[in-house]
Amino acid sequence: MNDCIFCKIAKGEIPSATLYEDEEFRVILDQGPATKGHALILPKAHYQNLYELPDELAGRAMILAKKIITEMKDVLDCDGYNVVQNNGSAAGQTVFHFHMHLIPRKEGDKAGISWTPGTLTPEDKEEILSKFSLK
């Protein structure tokens, strides 16, 4: 992926504010943070999204997320963390190289990572449960 910005950042070809690096991942500070300390986990290998990510790598990405937010919670003295991961432009993905957002939260901050709850109707419930079966 010659023109992927996150490939270049993850491989160190473009400088970044790197919090952590190992053979598989680089963790950087987001350049447009939702809150102070907003970080991104980037695999060094290019996968567009979670659908494409190999299972083992997906597992290790989540374990790394746990380590980083556990350490950073003390560094930033924050009250909580959102772990956000967007797949597809409809879901807000703008960079098509898999990444996980780690967003520190403080009580009363205005980060606005929320939605208006709707209603689970009986029709929706029946339709979805009847169509879905995990193989």
Question: Hey, which residues are catalytic here?
Answer: 99
**In angstroms, what is the minimal distance from the CB of 108 to Zn ion?**
36
Its sign, for the CA torsion 127, 128, 134, 135, is positive
Paired residues of 100 in beta bridges: 41
Q: Does 97 bind Zn ion (CB under 5 A)?
A: yes
Q: Does 92 bind ligand AMP (CB under 6 A)?
A: yes
Residues in 1-40 at the binding interface with Zn ion, rule: CB under 5 A: 1, 4, 6-7
Paired residues of 27 in beta bridges: 20, 41
Residue with tokens 């924050």: 78
Whichever of 5 and 63 has its CB closer to ligand AMP, that residue is: 5
Helix, strand, coil content of the chain in percent (nearest 5)? 30, 20, 50
Using CB distances below 5 to 8 A depending on partner kind, what does residue 82 bind out of ligand AMP, Zn ion, none? none
Residues in 10-69 at the binding interface with ligand AMP, rule: CB under 6 A: 16, 28, 30-32, 40
Of 50, 130, 133, 65, which Cα lies nearest the Cα of 98? 50
Where do contacts with ligand AMP occur on this chain (CB under 6 A)? 5, 16, 28, 30-32, 40, 86, 92-95
